[in-house]
Amino acid sequence: MIIRDYEVSNEAGWVRCRVLSFLQTAYFDNVLTEKERYDNPAIELVAEIDGQIVGLIDVEYETEELTICSRGAGLGGMIWHIAVHPDYYRQGIGEALLKEAEKRAKKLELNRFEAWTRDDQWVQNWYEKMNFKNTDSYYHVYFEGEQIDEVVNSTIPKLYFVNGFAHYTGNDIEQIKKEDTRIHECVCYEKYFDVE
């Protein structure tokens, strides 16, 4: 396995790897058709085996405090994407990508990573195994059909909402839960780097 910088020519492999890995998670419908570009500097790495992209990590990082990360002191990096192709699970690829990203982040004088994920227990377990701490959460709520009429009102004639996505930051999720409402807890994980 080779871990190296992402190159523009890797875009199709990057997208394929991300789509296939996200299908296994609560982010199954968060499909990208091209690689995200960042306004700020980023650590963008891929893992390659036999010419195939089998893993990736993208970390956009701050040059000014709290411009990307939502908490903490000092300069941090936000892990926007970390993924391993399902055919290559449990081979240490995600950990190797994270370690290389951390090594580079320390050279850039960043002091932490922040990552947000949904309520897939196996993903949360992985972050905790990598020494991230759970620091915050809120909810992603999807509304469809008649549910949308309860939460969205339009003053535009003949405009009908079919589905919707919302963030709920309140403390009583039960008030919006219905039998068929899709709700995911979105959890923040944070890792401060050891000082060497």
pLDDT digits (tens, 9 = 90+) for 77-86: 999 999 999 9
Task: Give yes or no for residue 18 having a pLDDT over 90.
Answer: yes
DSSP 87: G
Do both 40 and 77 map to the same domain? yes
Do both 24 and 82 map to the same domain? yes
Do both 118 and 32 map to the same domain? yes
| C-alpha neighbours within 13 Å on the C-beta side of residue 127 | 24
Do both 64 and 126 map to the same domain? yes
Look up the CATH number of the domain holding residue 44.
Answer: 3.40.630.30
Number of domains in the chain: 2
**CA–CA gap between residue 143 and residue 147 (Å, rounded):** 6
Give residue 61's pLDDT. Answer: 98
Segments in 23-76 forming alpha helices (H) = none
Residue 87 contacts residue 121 (beta carbons within 8 Å): no
Could you tell me the residue range of the domain that residue 142 belongs to? 138-183
Give residue 145's pLDDT. Answer: 80
Encode pLDDT of 31-79 as tens digits.
Answer: 999 999 999 999 999 999 999 999 999 999 999 999 999 988 899 999 9
For the chain, list the strands marked E by DSSP: 2-5, 42-49, 52-61, 76-84, 112-117, 133-144, 163-168, 182-192
Do both 74 and 107 map to the same domain? yes
Query: Is 100 part of any domain?
Result: yes
Neighbours of 76 (CB within 10 A): 27
Query: Is 193 part of any domain?
Result: no
Neighbours of 10 (CB within 10 A): 18
Query: Is 51 part of any domain?
Result: yes
Do both 45 and 98 map to the same domain? yes
By CB atoms closer than 10 A (0-12, 13-18, 19+), residue 160 is exposed
Do both 124 and 173 map to the same domain? no
Report phi then psi at 27, rounded to 5.
-95, 25
